[in-house]
Amino acid sequence: MNNIKASLLMLLAIILLIANQACEKMEDTYAQYLEGGEIIYPGKADSLQAFPGNKRIALKWLIVSDPKVVKAVVYWNNRADSVEVPIQKTAEVDTISVVLPNMEEGLYTFDVYTYDNQGHRSIGSQVIGEVYGDTFQQTISNRLIRSVEWFDLPQEGEIPAFMGAQINWYGVNMQAVFMDIRYTQENGSVTTIREEPVRISGRPPLFRETTRLPNGKKNSAIMYRTAFMPDTLAIDTFYTEYSTYTPISTQE
Protein backbone atom coordinates (compact mmCIF):
# COMPACT_ATOMS: atom_id res chain seq x y z
CA MET A 1 0.00 0.00 0.00
CA ASN A 2 2.83 2.38 0.87
CA ASN A 3 4.44 1.68 -2.49
CA ILE A 4 1.20 2.56 -4.30
CA LYS A 5 0.87 5.84 -2.40
CA ALA A 6 4.49 6.70 -3.16
CA SER A 7 3.96 6.02 -6.84
CA LEU A 8 0.82 8.18 -6.93
CA LEU A 9 2.61 11.05 -5.20
CA MET A 10 5.49 10.76 -7.65
CA LEU A 11 3.07 10.83 -10.64
CA LEU A 12 1.25 13.85 -9.21
CA ALA A 13 4.54 15.69 -8.75
CA ILE A 14 5.53 15.00 -12.37
CA ILE A 15 2.15 16.28 -13.65
CA LEU A 16 2.45 19.48 -11.60
CA LEU A 17 6.00 20.03 -12.87
CA ILE A 18 4.93 19.63 -16.52
CA ALA A 19 1.93 21.95 -16.04
CA ASN A 20 4.12 24.61 -14.42
CA GLN A 21 6.62 24.47 -17.29
CA ALA A 22 3.79 24.78 -19.82
CA CYS A 23 2.43 27.87 -18.08
CA GLU A 24 5.86 29.47 -18.01
CA LYS A 25 6.32 28.76 -21.74
CA MET A 26 2.87 30.27 -22.53
CA GLU A 27 3.70 33.39 -20.52
CA ASP A 28 6.98 33.76 -22.41
CA THR A 29 5.11 33.40 -25.75
CA TYR A 30 2.56 36.08 -24.86
CA ALA A 31 5.33 38.31 -23.57
CA GLN A 32 6.98 38.23 -27.02
CA TYR A 33 3.79 39.54 -28.65
CA LEU A 34 3.07 42.12 -25.99
CA GLU A 35 6.48 43.76 -26.03
CA GLY A 36 5.89 47.48 -26.37
CA GLY A 37 2.27 47.27 -25.20
CA GLU A 38 -1.07 45.60 -25.90
CA ILE A 39 -1.93 44.66 -29.50
CA ILE A 40 -4.67 46.96 -30.88
CA TYR A 41 -7.01 46.00 -33.70
CA PRO A 42 -9.24 48.73 -35.20
CA GLY A 43 -12.80 47.82 -36.13
CA LYS A 44 -12.72 45.75 -39.32
CA ALA A 45 -14.70 46.21 -42.55
CA ASP A 46 -18.01 44.57 -41.70
CA SER A 47 -20.55 43.06 -44.16
CA LEU A 48 -18.18 43.46 -47.12
CA GLN A 49 -19.90 43.13 -50.53
CA ALA A 50 -18.80 43.30 -54.18
CA PHE A 51 -20.98 44.75 -56.97
CA PRO A 52 -19.96 43.76 -60.54
CA GLY A 53 -19.71 46.34 -63.29
CA ASN A 54 -18.58 46.97 -66.85
CA LYS A 55 -14.77 47.04 -66.59
CA ARG A 56 -15.18 48.25 -63.02
CA ILE A 57 -16.39 46.98 -59.66
CA ALA A 58 -17.84 48.57 -56.53
CA LEU A 59 -17.11 47.47 -52.96
CA LYS A 60 -19.22 48.37 -49.95
CA TRP A 61 -18.80 47.69 -46.24
CA LEU A 62 -19.79 48.96 -42.80
CA ILE A 63 -17.73 50.53 -40.02
CA VAL A 64 -19.86 49.71 -37.01
CA SER A 65 -18.45 51.21 -33.84
CA ASP A 66 -14.74 52.10 -33.80
CA PRO A 67 -14.33 55.93 -33.83
CA LYS A 68 -10.55 55.66 -34.31
CA VAL A 69 -10.72 54.32 -37.88
CA VAL A 70 -9.37 56.89 -40.35
CA LYS A 71 -8.79 54.91 -43.55
CA ALA A 72 -9.05 51.57 -45.30
CA VAL A 73 -6.80 49.89 -47.84
CA VAL A 74 -8.21 47.55 -50.49
CA TYR A 75 -5.85 44.95 -52.00
CA TRP A 76 -6.30 42.68 -55.04
CA ASN A 77 -4.18 40.71 -57.52
CA ASN A 78 -2.34 39.04 -54.62
CA ARG A 79 -1.75 42.53 -53.14
CA ALA A 80 0.05 43.70 -56.27
CA ASP A 81 -2.67 46.39 -56.62
CA SER A 82 -4.25 48.49 -53.91
CA VAL A 83 -6.20 51.68 -53.23
CA GLU A 84 -6.47 53.78 -50.07
CA VAL A 85 -9.93 54.92 -48.95
CA PRO A 86 -10.15 57.86 -46.46
CA ILE A 87 -12.80 57.40 -43.77
CA GLN A 88 -14.46 60.04 -41.61
CA LYS A 89 -16.13 58.11 -38.81
CA THR A 90 -19.39 59.41 -37.35
CA ALA A 91 -21.30 58.37 -34.26
CA GLU A 92 -23.51 56.15 -36.43
CA VAL A 93 -22.85 52.97 -38.37
CA ASP A 94 -21.04 54.23 -41.48
CA THR A 95 -21.40 52.77 -44.96
CA ILE A 96 -18.16 52.97 -46.94
CA SER A 97 -18.09 52.43 -50.70
CA VAL A 98 -15.45 52.64 -53.40
CA VAL A 99 -15.53 52.04 -57.16
CA LEU A 100 -12.44 50.54 -58.80
CA PRO A 101 -12.31 51.66 -62.47
CA ASN A 102 -10.33 50.41 -65.47
CA MET A 103 -10.43 46.78 -64.36
CA GLU A 104 -9.83 43.85 -66.68
CA GLU A 105 -12.56 41.24 -66.98
CA GLY A 106 -12.23 38.37 -64.56
CA LEU A 107 -12.73 37.07 -61.06
CA TYR A 108 -10.97 38.89 -58.22
CA THR A 109 -10.38 38.39 -54.51
CA PHE A 110 -10.39 41.64 -52.52
CA ASP A 111 -8.91 42.07 -49.03
CA VAL A 112 -9.88 45.11 -46.99
CA TYR A 113 -8.06 46.38 -43.88
CA THR A 114 -8.88 49.42 -41.79
CA TYR A 115 -6.33 51.61 -39.97
CA ASP A 116 -6.46 54.03 -37.05
CA ASN A 117 -4.42 57.23 -36.78
CA GLN A 118 -1.67 55.33 -34.97
CA GLY A 119 -1.16 52.99 -37.90
CA HIS A 120 -2.72 49.95 -36.23
CA ARG A 121 -4.27 47.58 -38.76
CA SER A 122 -7.51 45.64 -38.37
CA ILE A 123 -8.21 42.01 -39.02
CA GLY A 124 -8.79 41.58 -42.76
CA SER A 125 -12.13 41.15 -44.52
CA GLN A 126 -12.35 39.34 -47.85
CA VAL A 127 -14.81 39.13 -50.73
CA ILE A 128 -14.79 37.65 -54.24
CA GLY A 129 -16.19 39.75 -57.10
CA GLU A 130 -16.35 39.58 -60.88
CA VAL A 131 -15.69 42.27 -63.48
CA TYR A 132 -17.51 42.06 -66.83
CA GLY A 133 -16.70 43.67 -70.18
CA ASP A 134 -16.30 42.91 -73.88
CA THR A 135 -16.53 39.13 -73.47
CA PHE A 136 -19.90 39.36 -71.75
CA GLN A 137 -21.05 41.97 -74.29
CA GLN A 138 -20.43 39.47 -77.08
CA THR A 139 -22.66 36.86 -75.41
CA ILE A 140 -25.85 38.97 -75.40
CA SER A 141 -28.26 39.28 -78.31
CA ASN A 142 -31.39 41.25 -79.05
CA ARG A 143 -34.77 39.66 -78.48
CA LEU A 144 -36.30 38.42 -81.71
CA ILE A 145 -39.66 39.54 -83.10
CA ARG A 146 -41.94 36.73 -84.18
CA SER A 147 -44.44 38.99 -85.95
CA VAL A 148 -46.17 42.40 -85.82
CA GLU A 149 -49.91 42.97 -86.08
CA TRP A 150 -51.53 46.30 -86.94
CA PHE A 151 -54.92 47.24 -85.58
CA ASP A 152 -56.75 50.12 -87.21
CA LEU A 153 -60.23 49.17 -86.02
CA PRO A 154 -61.51 48.83 -82.46
CA GLN A 155 -60.96 45.35 -81.07
CA GLU A 156 -64.07 43.58 -79.86
CA GLY A 157 -64.62 43.82 -76.13
CA GLU A 158 -61.84 46.36 -75.57
CA ILE A 159 -62.75 49.60 -73.81
CA PRO A 160 -61.16 51.86 -74.78
CA ALA A 161 -60.53 50.39 -78.19
CA PHE A 162 -56.89 49.71 -79.04
CA MET A 163 -55.48 51.10 -82.27
CA GLY A 164 -51.85 50.64 -83.18
CA ALA A 165 -49.31 47.84 -83.44
CA GLN A 166 -48.73 44.68 -81.43
CA ILE A 167 -45.34 42.96 -81.34
CA ASN A 168 -45.35 39.19 -80.84
CA TRP A 169 -42.02 38.08 -79.38
CA TYR A 170 -39.86 34.99 -79.16
CA GLY A 171 -38.37 34.17 -75.76
CA VAL A 172 -35.53 36.09 -74.12
CA ASN A 173 -32.54 35.35 -71.88
CA MET A 174 -33.25 35.47 -68.13
CA GLN A 175 -30.51 38.11 -67.70
CA ALA A 176 -32.54 40.59 -69.77
CA VAL A 177 -33.93 43.43 -67.63
CA PHE A 178 -35.85 45.60 -70.12
CA MET A 179 -36.30 46.54 -73.79
CA ASP A 180 -36.40 50.01 -75.33
CA ILE A 181 -38.80 50.18 -78.29
CA ARG A 182 -38.86 53.20 -80.63
CA TYR A 183 -41.71 53.63 -83.12
CA THR A 184 -43.62 56.23 -85.16
CA GLN A 185 -47.13 57.25 -84.19
CA GLU A 186 -49.96 58.10 -86.58
CA ASN A 187 -49.29 61.84 -86.21
CA GLY A 188 -45.67 61.33 -87.35
CA SER A 189 -44.00 61.80 -83.95
CA VAL A 190 -41.40 59.26 -82.78
CA THR A 191 -41.76 57.89 -79.27
CA THR A 192 -39.93 55.34 -77.14
CA ILE A 193 -41.47 52.99 -74.60
CA ARG A 194 -39.73 50.65 -72.16
CA GLU A 195 -40.96 47.08 -71.78
CA GLU A 196 -40.07 45.50 -68.42
CA PRO A 197 -40.77 42.02 -67.08
CA VAL A 198 -43.85 41.39 -64.99
CA ARG A 199 -43.00 40.86 -61.33
CA ILE A 200 -45.26 38.60 -59.28
CA SER A 201 -44.48 37.87 -55.65
CA GLY A 202 -42.82 34.49 -55.22
CA ARG A 203 -42.05 34.08 -58.93
CA PRO A 204 -39.13 35.09 -61.14
CA PRO A 205 -39.82 38.14 -63.34
CA LEU A 206 -41.08 37.20 -66.80
CA PHE A 207 -41.45 39.23 -69.99
CA ARG A 208 -44.79 39.32 -71.75
CA GLU A 209 -45.05 37.52 -75.06
CA THR A 210 -46.61 40.62 -76.65
CA THR A 211 -46.02 44.38 -76.53
CA ARG A 212 -48.54 46.95 -77.74
CA LEU A 213 -47.55 50.22 -79.39
CA PRO A 214 -50.49 52.63 -79.00
CA ASN A 215 -51.27 54.66 -82.11
CA GLY A 216 -48.41 53.04 -83.99
CA LYS A 217 -48.38 54.09 -87.61
CA LYS A 218 -49.33 51.20 -89.85
CA ASN A 219 -46.44 49.46 -91.64
CA SER A 220 -43.83 51.81 -90.17
CA ALA A 221 -40.40 50.64 -88.99
CA ILE A 222 -39.83 49.65 -85.36
CA MET A 223 -36.44 49.97 -83.67
CA TYR A 224 -35.63 48.17 -80.43
CA ARG A 225 -32.81 47.01 -78.18
CA THR A 226 -32.52 44.69 -75.17
CA ALA A 227 -30.76 45.52 -71.90
CA PHE A 228 -28.98 42.93 -69.77
CA MET A 229 -27.49 42.77 -66.28
CA PRO A 230 -24.96 39.95 -65.71
CA ASP A 231 -25.72 39.79 -61.99
CA THR A 232 -28.52 40.95 -59.70
CA LEU A 233 -25.98 43.12 -57.82
CA ALA A 234 -24.46 44.62 -60.98
CA ILE A 235 -23.97 48.40 -61.12
CA ASP A 236 -23.90 48.57 -64.93
CA THR A 237 -26.33 47.60 -67.68
CA PHE A 238 -25.23 46.12 -71.02
CA TYR A 239 -27.18 46.94 -74.21
CA THR A 240 -27.47 45.29 -77.59
CA GLU A 241 -27.34 47.44 -80.71
CA TYR A 242 -30.71 48.67 -81.96
CA SER A 243 -32.39 46.30 -84.42
CA THR A 244 -34.89 47.55 -87.00
CA TYR A 245 -38.04 45.67 -87.89
CA THR A 246 -39.36 46.76 -91.30
CA PRO A 247 -42.77 45.30 -92.17
CA ILE A 248 -43.81 44.60 -95.72
CA SER A 249 -46.49 47.08 -96.73
CA THR A 250 -49.87 45.59 -97.53
CA GLN A 251 -51.17 46.63 -100.93
CA GLU A 252 -54.66 47.95 -100.85
| Residue-wise pLDDT tens digits, 165-215 | 999 999 999 999 999 999 999 999 999 999 999 988 777 889 999 999 999
What is the domain count for the chain? 2
Could you give the CA distance from residue 199 to residue 111 in angstroms, rounded to a whole number? Answer: 36
- Residue 252 is predicted with a pLDDT of 41
Q: How confident is the model at residue 18 (pLDDT cuts 50, 70, 90)?
A: low
Q: How confident is the model at residue 152 (pLDDT cuts 50, 70, 90)?
A: confident
Residue 91 and residue 51 share a domain: yes
Residue 180 and residue 129 share a domain: no
Under DSSP, the state recorded for 224 is E
Residue 182 and residue 128 share a domain: no
DSSP lists the bridge partners of residue 54 as 132
252 assigned to some structural domain: no
Strands (E), the chain: 46-52, 57-63, 69-76, 81-86, 94-100, 106-116, 125-131, 145-151, 164-169, 176-184, 190-195, 210-214, 222-228, 238-239, 243-245
Percent of the chain past pLDDT 90, that is, above it, reads 67
- Residue 203 is predicted with a pLDDT of 78
Of 105, 133, 161, the domain-final residue: 133
**Domain residue limits at 61:** 46-133
Q: Check which CATH number belongs to the domain holding 181 and give it.
A: 2.60.40
- Residue 8 is predicted with a pLDDT of 47
Please compute the mean of the pLDDT values over residues 35-39 and round it to a whole number: 58
11 assigned to some structural domain: no
Of 99, 114, 133, the domain-final residue: 133
| Residue-wise pLDDT tens digits, 114-125 | 999 899 999 999
Q: Alpha carbon 53 to chain centroid distance?
A: 8
Residue 157 and residue 108 share a domain: no
- Residue 246 is predicted with a pLDDT of 93
- pLDDT greater than 70 at residue 100: yes
Q: Check which CATH number belongs to the domain holding 95 and give it.
A: 2.60.40.2550
Residue 145 and residue 193 share a domain: yes
Of 110, 133, 156, the domain-final residue: 133
Average pLDDT, the chain: 85
Could you give the CA distance from residue 116 to residue 241 in angstroms, rounded to a whole number? Answer: 49
4 assigned to some structural domain: no
